[in-house]
Amino acid sequence: MSRHWSRGILPYLYIAPTVVSTLVFVIYPFLANFYYSVVQWDGFGPKRFVGLANFAELSRDPRFWAALATNLIYFVYIVVIPIVLGLLIASVIGRAKVRGLRAYQTIYFIPQVVAPIALGVIFRWVYAPLFGIVNGLLQAVGLRHLARPWLGAPETATTAVGIIGTWAWFGFCVILFVAGIQKIDEHLYEAAKIDGAGAVRQFWHITLPDLRFEVVVALIMATVQSLGGYIFSVVRVTTNGAYGTRPVGLYAYQLAFVEGRVGYASAVMLVLTALIMGIAALGRMLGEGREAAP
């Protein structure tokens, strides 16, 4: 009897820590955020239900749209460029016998294990106007006239921050795609070669379709980072949102903790969450073909 009982309860005990932590740290905050988005609240006083007024205000808030546009620029640097570059590099080295491949993989992966706050601090030094590596290199190769305060000008700051994301996510994409390519049956390439397909056609018709799942994984993960906490941390440390570098997350922080508009900030974050979930769902739809394949 008791063995029967323990068999019945045991699986639930195994998953209990995950369920409880998900409920406490994911589900509850999400529901609470939904509730806060329909109230007016300064963080200290009573909450006043305002329906969809926060969302209506959001639609005509130039600061929100500016922050969203900045996020889309980061999307290009953190998602699009690393995936495209990663595919190109992986397609070149994925099927070749590269000596020391593991060492390369480790080096490529290092940016992934560095906390975004630390990355921000490092790159603040890299871009430093007086003693930074970038300006130092430019001066060393006789391009002193190109040296500038990269994080301190509206025309360069967003790009400079975006490149930090490219650097961090490019290596991840390469490793993911190389692993994917190594799983593709070599006979497919040989058959394509016999049929007269060149490297470009092999890439379009064999490599890319078979890497769809890996691309979707990279797309979802990098999208979350380009819109969420990762870019928030990097920007907070490098420019704190100055010179048009502020993403939506940092704007919501400003609203909630500087301007005392917790309700409106929650509405902003809810829209951002919906955007992330929308892109993730789109990615899953694209990846379903590969998942369903035998």
Residues that bind other proteins (CB under 8 A): 42-46, 63, 127-130, 149-154, 239-240, 242-243, 254, 257-261
Helix (H) and strand (E) counts in the chain: 16, 2
Cα separations in angstroms, 124 against 135, 169, 230, 234: 12, 18, 16, 10
Q: Residue 60 Cβ, how far from other proteins at the closest point, in Å? A: 14
Of residues 202 and 260, the one with the C-beta less far from other proteins = 260
Whether the Cβ atoms of residue 212 and residue 181 lie closer than 8 Å to each other: no
Whether the Cβ atoms of residue 77 and residue 168 lie closer than 8 Å to each other: no
On the 0-12 / 13-18 / 19+ scale of CB atoms within 10 A, 98 is: middle
Q: Residue 45 Cβ, how far from other proteins at the closest point, in Å? A: 4
Of residues 206 and 231, the one with the C-beta less far from other proteins = 231
Cα separations in angstroms, 158 against 227, 239, 257: 14, 9, 24
Of residues 9 and 115, the one with the C-beta less far from other proteins = 115
Element (H, E) at 49: strand 48-49
Closest CA to 153 of 232, 245, 69, 72: 245
Of residues 101 and 244, the one with the C-beta less far from other proteins = 244
Q: Residue 254 Cβ, how far from other proteins at the closest point, in Å? A: 6
Question: Tokens 């799983």, residue?
Answer: 183
Q: Residue 258 Cβ, how far from other proteins at the closest point, in Å? A: 6
Q: Residue 248 Cβ, how far from other proteins at the closest point, in Å? A: 14
Of residues 126 and 220, the one with the C-beta less far from other proteins = 126
- The two three-digit tokens of residue 96, written as one number: 């070749």
Ordered DSSP codes for 215-244:
HHHHHHHHHHHHHSHHHHHHHHHHTTTGGG
Q: How far apart are CA 244 and CA 63, in angstroms?
A: 10
Q: Residue 97 Cβ, how far from other proteins at the closest point, in Å? A: 45
Q: Residue 30 Cβ, how far from other proteins at the closest point, in Å? A: 17
Of residues 94 and 132, the one with the C-beta less far from other proteins = 132
Of residues 211 and 246, the one with the C-beta less far from other proteins = 246
The helix/strand/coil state of 1 is: coil
Task: Let me know the angle formed at the C-alpha of 243 by 233 and 132, rounded to the nearest 5 degrees.
Answer: 70
Closest CA to 182 of 113, 82, 105: 105
Q: Residue 144 Cβ, how far from other proteins at the closest point, in Å? A: 12
Of residues 49 and 257, the one with the C-beta less far from other proteins = 257
Q: How far apart are CA 164 and CA 78, in angstroms?
A: 8
